[in-house]
Amino acid sequence: MTAHALEGMRVVDLTQVMAGPFCTMLLADLGADVVKVEPPGGGDQTRHSWGRSGKGDDGPAFFALNRNKRSVVLDLRSEQGRADFLRLVADADVLVENFRPGVMTRLGLDYETLREVNPGLVYASISGFGHTGPYAERPGYDLIAQGMAGILELTGHPDGPPAKAGVPVADLGSGLFCVYGILAAYVHKLRTGEGQRIETSLYEAAVALTVWEATEYWSSGNVPTRTGSSHRMSAPYQAFRTADGWMTIGANNQRLWGFLCAALGHPELEHDPRFATNPDRMRNKAELASVIESILAEHGTDHWVDRLLAGGVPAGPIRTYDQVLADEHTLARGMVQSIPHPVEGEVQTLGFPVKLSRTPATTRRHPPLLGEHQDEVLGGREERA
pLDDT digits (tens, 9 = 90+) for 261-313: 999 999 999 999 999 999 999 999 999 999 999 999 999 999 999 999 999 99
Distance, CA of 127 to CA of 170 (rounded, Å): 11
In the predicted model, what is the mean pLDDT of residues 220-225? 94
Confidence of residue 2 (pLDDT cuts 50, 70, 90): confident
CA distances from 311 to 221, 231, 258, 304 (A): 37, 22, 10, 10
Residues 6+ positions from 269 with CB-CB distance below 8 Å:
261, 275, 291
Q: Are 224 and 155 in contact (CB under 8 A)?
A: no
Per-residue pLDDT tens for 122-146? 999 999 999 999 999 999 999 999 9
Cα 291 to Cα 8: distance, rounded to the nearest angstrom: 59
Q: For the residues 241-266, what does the mean pLDDT come to?
A: 98
Residue positions annotated with a catalytic role: 171
What is residue 381's predicted lDDT score, i.e. its pLDDT? 45
Residue 192 banded pLDDT, cuts 50, 70, 90? very high
Full-model pTM: 0.93
pLDDT exceeds cutoff 80 at 55 = no
